[in-house]
Structure 1
Amino acid sequence: MASVETVAAYRTEALKKIRRAKARFPELYALDALFRYVSDYSGTLAPNSVRLWRQQMRIAVTEASRDDPREFSGDAIHGFIHAMDEAVDALKGRPNPPRTSTKKRKDPPKSEVVAVFAHLKKRALELHRPRMAATAIFCVLMSRIGGRPVELVGASVRGSTLILPNAKRAVSQATERPIMVDQWDLHHRVALAALIDLVNSEVGDAGYQAWLSTLAEILARACQAVGVPRLAPSSFRHTALSTWSAAGFSTEEIALLAGHFCRRSPSHYIRTASAWGPEDATVAPLGPAPTPEVEEVRTDTSLGLDFEPMPQPNSPPPRADISQRLWNEHRQRMDEQEKSLDLVTKRTRLDRMRLPREQQTRQQRTKPGRMP
């Protein structure tokens, strides 16, 4: 069963599609405009987008049918939903040319991640950039813990246990999952805790989307610099699940580590060819295994709609407004620099006044642009 937040997110997107359809076909009823909007869609949808559209359009059809003056019966609305599913499925294909998400490496080999890490580490030390350093740590550690980027918000390290919130959570699922990192040395656990602190600090200041965009941009530039396919912040999750599978982890253990409610869900991510070595499978689940007989997640609604959980960024606790303090510190540094510059200027003038007149005349005659 999907959470309330997930259903609300689907409904928000559904209402957007209703508004777009009505704006494009103002002469039609909202329900008819929706079908026309889908049938006239000029592009194609990747399989993941088809699944997302199907859930959104089911809600859109339900909302448009309820507001339609023609007053349809429940069976008729069920028929509309079935017809919309078929219309959305007909859009499934491989976008040409490939979209940005298609061009990104979903499960990078270890050599590429190491190359990106080395470049980011070098640049971070040269330029004193904490964000580059954090991105380098992100590349190495997320390939081993398999978390979603959003799950770093609200995460914590307690001794040898990493606590990650379940961002893609069913109603009956726990709000967080513990992952044992007792095989990690102290330096790696400290680096993980530092990464979590930095992420939460930046998310609290700028918001989750701003932090994620900055992370993606730093990754993209680093990949371009070392000449490897572009990596996305979510790429490392695929690598971790593939590594666990190749190391002999059971489907129940992988589902626990990945935060999946259904033990069959990790199969979507696992690709044996992209797995790293068993030495990188250094985590262990801590908790009861998922029920093997668990079925696909469903939401109880009057129409029996089927919703799939979708990750929602957790809103961090409000942080104190420090903008005025930062501005005051900035002005203080600028004033100090101006005073230092004034002192240097005065000293230069005094030194010139103390020079013998003959030497001053010789310097003026040898200035650039004058003949000696």
Structure 2
Amino acid sequence: MSGNFQLPEPLSARRIVVAMSGGVDSSVTAALALKSGAEVIGVTLRLYDHGEAVGRKGACCAGQDIRDAAAVADRLGFAHHVIDHESAFRQSVVEQFADEYLAGRTPIPCVRCNMGPKFTDLFAIARDLGADCLATGHYVRRVEGAQGAEMHRAIDPARDQSYFLFATTRAQLEFLRFPLGGMPKADVRAIASSLGLGVAAKPDSQDICFVPDGDYAGIVTKVRPGAVHEGAIVDLEGRELGRHRGIIHYTVGQRRGLEIGGMAEPLYVVRIDAAKNEVIVGPRAALAVSSARLSGINRLATAEEWGALGPLTAKVRSMAKPAPARLDGDRLVFDTPEYGVSPGQAAVLYADDRVVAGGWIEETASAFQG
């Protein structure tokens, strides 16, 4: 087994707290921590129990997942604690998710969860337990640089989760360890299988943990009943082309589901005006964006490093290809127009494989000349 925890020797005198979700990744992280010789304590936050209610596998920190985490700890022989954070999770993640959709934005609850319950709260718990570090099963690499710990993409690009961890602070990164960032997923499952862990073949979590079957609108209407109203779908000049069932059903760049026929070219959602309860549509060219204003910018490169970073690229969606860009104050400026840039999403900047900054997209500047 591989995995480097980068702790001072001897590891037998160290204590590692492992965040355990009940999946194969966090289970193998715990096994690697135990193999290092350190004392291991597993911690699972009970965040949401909808997966238990519907019998859905891989709901993350629901009933069955907690039992799976406990079974791994029992088999490997280390302490495991379950801490109830359902109320805090609802307030800081679920309700914020609903409010973002109602504001015409496209939220990323996984980042909010990492910023809140998973990192901030787990950090406090780990320190209370006297841990030397907090280890997670995220696929990202922590590299010791000249100015301290750096965050780099995982070696497996299909598994890289650095986009979702952009808000990790430099202080948090010093305390965090990501032993899976240098491993392909096949090796992780092989380790779990060799140890006889019941989660070895457990499917990866799909979608957002608290959204059953991808029904985002259903969650919004449940959390904020009576807040969704039908309204107009208008073109770039404000002419009404059709009606919508509620702005929560639409995101920037969406083409399907508009139910507007007889147009000369396909229409896309260009922006959403929550104040007017309008969905604005236009041709694909109208999606072109020259820059975006960011909020909550987190810089993982020091001021001394920033000027020597060289060319930067930015991802504006988790599955987007990084695009050449630069950060000018709070504005992310693209070298060439970028498409599908949606308020509510994150923009994450990279210098080669290193995450150097990131922030929340608040508004965009159109590059459309039509």
User: TM-score scaled to structure 2, two decimals?
Assistant: 0.22
TM (norm. structure 1) is 0.22
The answer to which structure, 1 or 2, has the higher relative contact order (CA under 8 A, 6+ apart) is 1
More helix per residue: 1
Q: Which has the higher strand share?
A: 2
